[in-house]
Amino acid sequence: MVRRSKSDETSKGVRRPRRVLRGRRVPQIKIRISLLPGILTTANVLCGFYAIMWVLKGRLFPASVAILVAALLDALDGRVARLTKTTSEFGVQLDSLADVVSFGMAPALLSYSFALSGFGRLGWIAAFSYLICGVLRLARFNTRCKTIEPKYFLGLPIPAAGLAVATSVTLADGEAPGTFLRVLFLILIAAISYLMVSNFKYRSFKQLNFAKMHPFGTMIILVAIVIVIAAFPGTMPFLTVIGYIVWGVIETLWLRRSDARKEQEEELS
């Protein structure tokens, strides 16, 4: 009768099942992690849907807040996908479809109910122009996302355009503006509609790594931002979005000018 050593018994009776269990746990963890960006994108669509419902009920301020929350979720789902290394073509398409609802249809309806309805036919044309320019912006991004420099977006991102509409409503506290402000809002809608399909470059901040930044300095900056926004909750978000829009135009013109100078210097040399 052949006796088996304890090492043989443990290797056959204990270690192999543990290896199998360990091998099964890793895929489960990966599957759960890969669901996080999709859950955030779904929440993004839900906020856009709620914004549309609030607009239909005539409650513009809650609709604008829902768009703001959707923008936060949109920023998180892409960063979570990159951190967990679960980016995929399906996720890109799903995110774009979510953006059509949350930052295309919802802000278009919000802008029309807020100020553009007073212009009659011109008002709904402006609202539709915003929507179709946003859709064209997303279609161009999907076809060129692999060839465009990741540091910049080509054209104003549709979430920033949606935030420009939402923060305008929160700035007015959801109340209908006067004639002069309605004209300014119409000009704003026309400007951001054009910028979405233009060739102006806007920073994407995808390469911003908070882990490599100085913790204490980053904390001070974040605390200062929170204090300023808390002190001016209606004004600062609007000014921040407008600053981002204007900065993209200025930076693009500056880059074009510097490129033209380099070409002239190369020709002279």
What confidence category does residue 149 fall into, taking pLDDT thresholds of 50, 70 and 90?
Answer: low
Comparing 28 with 157, the larger pLDDT belongs to 157
- Tell me the pTM: 0.80
pLDDT digits (tens, 9 = 90+) for 196-233: 999 999 988 665 555 555 566 667 777 877 787 777 77
- Residue-level pLDDT at 52: 97
Q: Are 123 and 174 in contact (CB under 8 A)?
A: no
Please, which pLDDT band fits residue 173 given cuts at 50, 70 and 90?
A: confident
Q: Where are the beta strands (DSSP E) in 112-262?
A: 152-154, 201-203
pLDDT at 47: 96
Q: Which of 80-84, 172-176, 243-247 has the lowest mean pLDDT?
A: 80-84
Please give the domain boundaries of the chain with CATH numbers for all domains: 35-259 (1.20.120.1760)
Partnered with residue 203 across adjacent β-strands are 152
Q: What local confidence, expressed as pLDDT, does residue 266 receive?
A: 75
Q: Is 111 exposed, middle or buried (0-12, 13-18, 19+ CB in 10 A)?
A: buried
Q: Which of 62-71, 229-238, 254-263 has the lowest mean pLDDT?
A: 229-238
Average pLDDT over residues 18-30: 49
Q: Please say whether the beta carbons of 241 and 163 come within 8 A.
A: yes
pLDDT at 27 > cutoff 70: no
* 61 contacts 174 by C-beta, under 8 angstroms: yes
CA atoms within 13 A on the CB side of 159: 22
More confident of the two residues 1 and 92: 92
pLDDT digits (tens, 9 = 90+) for 113-127: 999 999 999 999 999
The reported pLDDT for the residue numbered 26 is 47
Tell me the torsion sign for CA atoms 191, 164, 77, 152. positive
Q: How confident is the model at residue 187 (pLDDT cuts 50, 70, 90)?
A: very high
Secondary structure class of 36 (helix, strand, coil): helix
CB-CB contact of 135 with 104 (8 Å): yes
What would the mean pLDDT of 221-246 be, rounded to a whole number?
A: 83
Identify the band that residue 25 occupies on the pLDDT scale cut at 50, 70 and 90: low
pLDDT greater at residue 4 or residue 150: 150
Tell me whether residue 42 is exposed, middle or buried, using C-beta atoms within 10 angstroms of its C-beta: 0 to 12, 13 to 18, 19 or more.
middle
Predicted pLDDT at 81: 75
Average pLDDT taken over every residue of the chain: 82
